[in-house]
Structure 1
Amino acid sequence: MPINVLMTVPTGPGVGLTSVSVGLVRALEQQGLKASFFKPIAQPQPGDKGPDKSTAMVAQGSTLRPAEPIPLHEAERYLYNDNIDELMEEIVGRFQASVEPGSTVIVEGLAQIAGHPYATRLNKAIARTLDAGLVLVTAPNKMKVNELEHHVEIAAGSYGGIKADDVIGCILNKTTPGSLGMKSYGDLFAQKSIFKRNFSLLGQIPSAEELTYPRVKDVAEFLGASIVNAGEMDTRRVQSYTLCARGVENMLEALRPGVLVFTPGDRTDIIMATAIAALNDIKIAALVVTGGYQPSEALMSLCGKAMAKGLPVLSVGSNSWETVINMQSFNQEIPTDDKERVLMVKEHIARCIDHDWVNSFALNQDERKLSPPAFRFRLIELAKSLDKHILLPEGEEVRVIQAASICAERGIARCTLLGDKTEILRIAQNNGIELNDAVNILDPNKVRERYIAPMVELRKSRSLTDIVAREQLADDVVLGTMMLQVGDVDGLVSGAAHPTANTIRPALQLIKTTPDSSLVSSVFFMCLPDQVLVYGDCVINPDPTAEQLAEIAIQSADSAAAFGITPKVAMISYSTGGRGAGNDVDKVRKATSIAQKLRPDLLIDGPLQYDAAIMESVAKRKAPNSKVAGKATVFVFPDLNTGNTTYKAVQRSADVVSIGPMLQGIKKPVNDLSRNASVDDIVHTIAVTAIQADSNDRKR
């Protein structure tokens, strides 16, 4: 199989070569392309420990496990002995042993750093040896347009110039809005510039301040601080820092979300003011007491409730001024164990790479496999094109507020938060969340009355009265469901602070099924390491009949197709093929037959045992003639007991992210969250709901 090889090389020092390289890998994964990563030679920074940073970052959130690069001291030994050809042979051997056939390989060149004058020489040799196309990575660094072009052109000259066949183009990293006198570096295309034809601008990556925020634990390690109260030091991030040695009344404005507060350890007034701010839900990053002082036990006891809210407290021996000066030399590089920040950087960079260029590599690859990054990327991009209005009844939950902010910023959906506006804005401010005009806040108390009459009319067959309707509408989820039913919003997402039943029950009572459905069922999107699978039904139907099971299979297959997953439906049972007997396996066999007759366009097979459905080696023995066995993407379980148990076992045992349950067969989209859902989970569920709303609209 052919291999595309792209090598990233820097135009100068400090361009962010590693970040761009791992971001390119993520861009390939997002498009469902087979990717590999190879770093020929390690370049550890002072203080680096453990595995190579680039390979560790690539492995985060990916199934790729790149080979470790050649240690720098070994490469330097080859150069010292003038054995560069032998070094290239070693590199080729590692390359061929570590990259996957049929993949597009991102090779990270050597960065231009002090003490490594041979970087460009080696990069040229490696590119020639691996027959790699060259992608230059640069950072404008306040250069003017002509200066930037001149800089890039000179750098390209080291590799044959911008007209050379193997010099593909350039990625601009660390750009800032308004620099070079342009709104966007894309304006370079409109000019008579070097970025044309064979040499292209392949991406422009804006600086994002939030990507530079370290964890409190990283700062504590850097300062050699002792831990007075750990709190949430592993998750809280430092956005800024301040030295507080003035009177309390003069430093209150400094106590804002994400600030690292330095104060002399004997300033009990500032310590208590910081604790009071924490009690008021202002998420201060941490309090650092200086001068070697330890707060007394009595003071710590008095501030105990603030500590319980997660406020980290650190102690250092240096005085406040020395400590703040020391922070100037803090290394902003991303630690390899900071999974959240690594993934944020990868996603940010991948979004900014030219998608048409990335997709051009699909020509040399087989049918794409929808990996979790590709699935999530497709969700977001499709949702952005739909402009749907999604209601979030749990509007005073901080994760929901943050998800709404992200959706507004990225244009994923228009979100309405139900709740008290003053409280929502207070929570947002205390957690450093910006809510722009695209996030609507609606006080439920001001709109409940208008939904009483529609609800009574909808439930008149159940003899619902005004009084009972008013009582039920006091539940914001019920109110939100009625808003969805009458068409005031396009979809509803809830469950971050409520059990699943609280979200699903009102939907089943108030929203009817689609014309082509006789029942409501559900699916989970199970984000396995290398593939996204669809599980149904794991939430709604306890013991479906064969006819109902056939309908669930068809609904689940259509849901998979709507989200870009090629449906290959396995009807799961404890027996494979025709060997088993018993009521349960007979039901699955009958359901398979019904579904195949109703939808001959779908690949549906059963009964299949789970291992025969997912493992090709087992499928070859148990179902050698099946077009689904070993390749299934949609798993339909015979009953709720089996489905719910399996999904939870896979989710917990394999640490799999699951999105859902997504209801299907219902006229309007209502989707549930797990109560431990992350902000990203909520964002992706909002995107799913927006896509589902569009799909339902088109079916009407």
Structure 2
Amino acid sequence: MARSVYVAGLGPGVGKSTVALGLAELLSRQVARIGVFRPLLPGPGTDPLLTLLTERYPVVAPYADSFGVTAAEAGQLVADGKWEELIARIVERYREVERKSASVVVIGSDFTGSPASGGDEMPRELGFNARLATEFGSVVIPVISGEGRSEESIGAAARSAYHSLVDLDATVLAVIANRVPPGVPLKPAAGLPVPMWSIPEVAAVAAPTVAEVAAALDATVVSGSTNALDRDVLDYVVGAAHVPALLEHLTDGALLITPGDRADLLVAASAAHAAGNVTLSGLVLTLGEAPDPRAVAVIEKLNTGLAMLVVDSDSYHTIASASRIEARLSTGTPRKVEAALGAFEENVDTAELARILDVARSARVTPLMFENDLIDKARAERRHLVLPEGTDERILRATETLLRRGVAELTLLGDRAEITRRARELGVSIGGANLVDPESSEWRDRFASRYAELRKKKGVTLDLAYDVVRDVNYFGTLMVEEGYADGMVSGANHTTAATIRPAFEIIRTVPGLTVASSVFFMLLADRVLVYGDCAVNPDPDAAQLADIALSSADTAAAFGIEPRVAMLSYSTGSSGAGADVEKVAAATALVRERRPDLPVEGPIQYDAAIDPAVAATKLPDSTVAGKATVFVFPDLNTGNNTYKAVQRSAHAVAVGPVMQGLRRPVNDLSRGATVKDIVNTVAITAIQAAAR
């Protein structure tokens, strides 16, 4: 039977979506495909949480097969006195998902009194969820609300939740208190026989977005990009007084609600936002009044990046409606999803939770499992990384994700005011990141002296070095060299040469290695392979090829991949001859001499290295043939073309290039890198730094 965990919310608005998301993320690291299931689909329309989970994770069943019944169906069955038929239908639908799954996350009902409206005879929510959990064979994680509660009150609620479920014959795995107020200790409740974790109130999770407010108010979007609509609404301010009074009451994250004919307030608030005095979330104009075109022209010149909405209601009814809006995790709120995951992973002991869930890890490694493992490993030993391209939009968005997930401590390089302005314009939060301007940094003199010392044989003077270290890549590399950062990631808008050259000049290679190199992690459908070198060395000699093989094996091991090294050639064993084959044979001999413990085979053709059937024919006694994990190409031409061919034809995800062989990690991004690529590369760099 599949391991199933049932998330039961004890009361409305407890935030069980955060817990369900965190569990799905955790289980996706353990198994290749998971199941998600909602016994009762709440309300009309598509359920945002179920949509998010079925689209974000590799699930065994599509949305349409991942719920039991709708609220309307449940109501009709209960009204007809067919309670047991309702239970039977839900259980039957659940079993279909369970049969295909290694593990299932079940999201309990959202109702507060009964499985459908319309009768006092219906069992309460707790009894309904406990009954289903028992029928499913699920362990239960009750989620209680910490909102507005003291430490003693939270502890009492946790014990009550535990005993209430146990009395209903449910098996309680752990208790989670969510939305715990600031200042309340995040610790287990006394006298609770199972683990308890507390998650604090996180504004970025609890707050609705401008888009959610617009939908709830049935507003017309006058202006505003997708990014503007994705801003978090942390507060509401009603504008009705004169300008000075309004400016005094504006707060960061506030949504200004004001009559559409108050052009003075609109312009003043927009100017305050553009000047950096306050960071607003957006503007709402009431009474159906469109703003004065002359005021709009001024606001457009300010380039605030704010959304402007128009509603028909007056300010009083607008604020009353807006204050009742609840934020929801969905595919349309990716930043909120990352914030929720960050809160869960920072406050829940996921290693202990995985242990007590007792889900055996799959032998298969999917791309998502590997990427989640990167985040997990980086979080386990947080390192400090420097990102030289501090004003790049993708870097800023990745920074927000990395900070929210607790992946690393970050320093962004560039003009502080410009970085702050750009982040405010994009509506991203980079609080917690260090901002350093190489032009004015107190480290500039020291770095110039260090660089001049390192390059004096190349004729670099102190004056020249002082100019060189203004360059963000040189400055970032010197931060790594001098111990102010553990690694660097650059290249989103710099060439590979501009990123890597400073590392070669300053950090240099590990003693004993003749060359730095790179690998790509090739994420296939069911495994991860390591390809090297596909990006740096055009035509390595035998000694360099041996270095590449050893570095690639060490990189594989650092990321949990058992290294079995194939030294690739157009010949397997002694079947062919020629200078290229001899180079690979010599490199293989050097690897065996330097690392007799390392499984290595070469020369070997790609098919013999990866296909057990071919290996059984060509090299039947090899410990590597047919099951290689590390593929070392004889030259850059072969490696680069092969990785791209596999990437496109096998629909593999190529993560890299990942630099190796340097004394400290520096990694290069593609100039077409996505935010996800940047997050992965930063995580990889942090893991490399921890390994050193």
Q: So what's the TM-score if we normalise by structure 1?
A: 0.80
Cα distance in structure 2, aligned partners of 1:41 and 1:533: 39
1:494 aligns with 2:500: no
Instruction: Determine the structure 1 residue equivalent to 2:6.
Output: 7
Cα distance in structure 2, aligned partners of 1:462 and 1:477: 19
Cα distance in structure 1, aligned partners of 2:497 and 2:559: 25
Letter in 2 for 1:348: A
Letter in 2 for 1:224: D
How much does 1:290 deviate?
2.9
Q: Secondary structure at the match of 1:233?
A: helix
Letter in 1 for 2:107: E
Count of aligned pairs between the two proteins:
677
Q: Secondary structure at the match of 1:42?
A: strand
1:22 aligns with 2:42: no
The 8 Å contact of residues 38 and 50 in structure 2, kept in 1 or not, is answered as no
How much does 1:411 deviate?
6.8
Q: Secondary structure at the match of 2:538?
A: coil
Cα distance in structure 1, aligned partners of 2:556 and 2:218: 51
Structure 2 gaps of 5+ residues are 116-121
Instruction: Determine the structure 2 residue equivalent to 1:42.
Output: 40
Q: Secondary structure at the match of 2:214?
A: helix
Which residue among 504, 507, 531 is the counterpart of 1:511?
507
How much does 1:210 deviate?
0.7
How much does 1:150 deviate?
5.1
Instruction: Determine the structure 2 residue equivalent to 1:218.
Output: 212
* Closer, same or farther: CA 644–175 of 1 in aligned 2, 3 Å: farther
How much does 1:504 deviate?
0.7
Q: Which segment is superposed worse, 630-639 or 56-65?
A: 630-639
How much does 1:20 deviate?
1.9
1:258 aligns with 2:253: yes
Cα distance in structure 1, aligned partners of 2:506 and 2:453: 11
Cα distance in structure 2, aligned partners of 1:629 and 1:149: 58
The 8 Å contact of residues 566 and 631 in structure 2, kept in 1 or not, is answered as yes
Between the aligned residues of both structures, percent identity stands at: 37
1:131 aligns with 2:125: no
Q: So what's the TM-score if we normalise by structure 2?
A: 0.81
How much does 1:684 deviate?
5.3
Q: Which segment is superposed worse, 136-145 or 615-624?
A: 615-624
Cα distance in structure 1, aligned partners of 2:49 and 2:546: 48
Cα distance in structure 1, aligned partners of 2:691 and 2:300: 52
Q: Secondary structure at the match of 2:289?
A: coil
Which residue among 146, 165, 174 is the counterpart of 1:169?
174
Q: Secondary structure at the match of 1:99?
A: helix
Q: 1:2-43: per-residue Cα shift (whole Å, max 9, x none)?
A: 53233233333433334322322222334x356633425233
Which residue among 68, 79, 93 is the counterpart of 1:70?
68
Cα distance in structure 2, aligned partners of 1:385 and 1:39: 30
Cα distance in structure 1, aligned partners of 2:244 and 2:340: 39
Cα distance in structure 2, aligned partners of 1:668 and 1:330: 48
Which residue among 183, 186, 190 is the counterpart of 1:184?
186
Letter in 2 for 1:329: R
Q: Which segment is superposed worse, 165-174 or 204-213?
A: 165-174
Q: 1:257-312: per-residue Cα shift (whole Å, max 9, x none)?
A: 533233322233333334444654776433333332334555544544445x6332
Q: Secondary structure at the match of 1:21?
A: helix
Letter in 2 for 1:56: T
Cα distance in structure 2, aligned partners of 1:251 and 1:652: 56
Q: Which segment is superposed worse, 509-518 or 5-14?
A: 5-14
The 8 Å contact of residues 571 and 636 in structure 1, kept in 2 or not, is answered as yes
Q: Secondary structure at the match of 1:344?
A: helix
Letter in 1 for 2:93: R
How much does 1:509 deviate?
2.4
* Closer, same or farther: CA 25–303 of 1 in aligned 2, 3 Å: closer
How much does 1:246 deviate?
3.0
Instruction: Determine the structure 1 residue equivalent to 2:119.
Output: none
For 1:107-506, list aligned pairs within 5 A: 107-116=106-115, 117-118=122-123, 119-143=125-149, 148=154, 151-156=157-162, 159-161=165-167, 166-179=171-184, 183-186=185-188, 188=189, 191=190, 193=191, 195-196=192-193, 200-231=194-225, 232-253=227-248, 258-277=253-272, 279-280=274-275, 284-295=280-291, 299-307=295-303, 310-360=305-355, 365-366=360-361, 375=370, 379=374, 382-383=377-378, 386=381, 388-395=383-390, 413=408, 415-420=410-415, 433=429, 435=431, 439=434, 441=436, 443-445=438-440, 446-487=442-483, 489-506=485-502
Letter in 1 for 2:657: P
Q: Secondary structure at the match of 2:663?
A: coil
The 8 Å contact of residues 177 and 198 in structure 2, kept in 1 or not, is answered as yes
Letter in 2 for 1:133: V
How much does 1:434 deviate?
6.3
* Closer, same or farther: CA 429–254 of 1 in aligned 2, 3 Å: farther
Letter in 2 for 1:105: V
* Closer, same or farther: CA 550–269 of 1 in aligned 2, 3 Å: same
The 8 Å contact of residues 48 and 328 in structure 2, kept in 1 or not, is answered as no
Q: Secondary structure at the match of 1:360?
A: helix
Q: Secondary structure at the match of 2:480?
A: helix
Cα distance in structure 1, aligned partners of 2:200 and 2:102: 28
Letter in 2 for 1:42: L
* Closer, same or farther: CA 359–332 of 1 in aligned 2, 3 Å: closer
The 8 Å contact of residues 38 and 99 in structure 1, kept in 2 or not, is answered as no
Cα distance in structure 2, aligned partners of 1:300 and 1:203: 49
Q: 1:453-510: per-residue Cα shift (whole Å, max 9, x none)?
A: 4333322333334444334233232233234335554333333443332211111223
> CA RMSD, aligned part only?
4.4
The 8 Å contact of residues 60 and 342 in structure 1, kept in 2 or not, is answered as no
Q: 1:549-586: per-residue Cα shift (whole Å, max 9, x none)?
A: 44323312211211333335566678999999998788
Letter in 1 for 2:353: V
Q: Secondary structure at the match of 2:283?
A: strand
How much does 1:439 deviate?
3.6
Q: Which segment is superposed worse, 589-598 or 201-210?
A: 589-598
How much does 1:520 deviate?
0.8
Cα distance in structure 2, aligned partners of 1:647 and 1:106: 36
Letter in 2 for 1:167: V
Q: 1:384-430: per-residue Cα shift (whole Å, max 9, x none)?
A: 56565444444555765787788778875554444455655666677
How much does 1:521 deviate?
0.8
Letter in 1 for 2:96: A
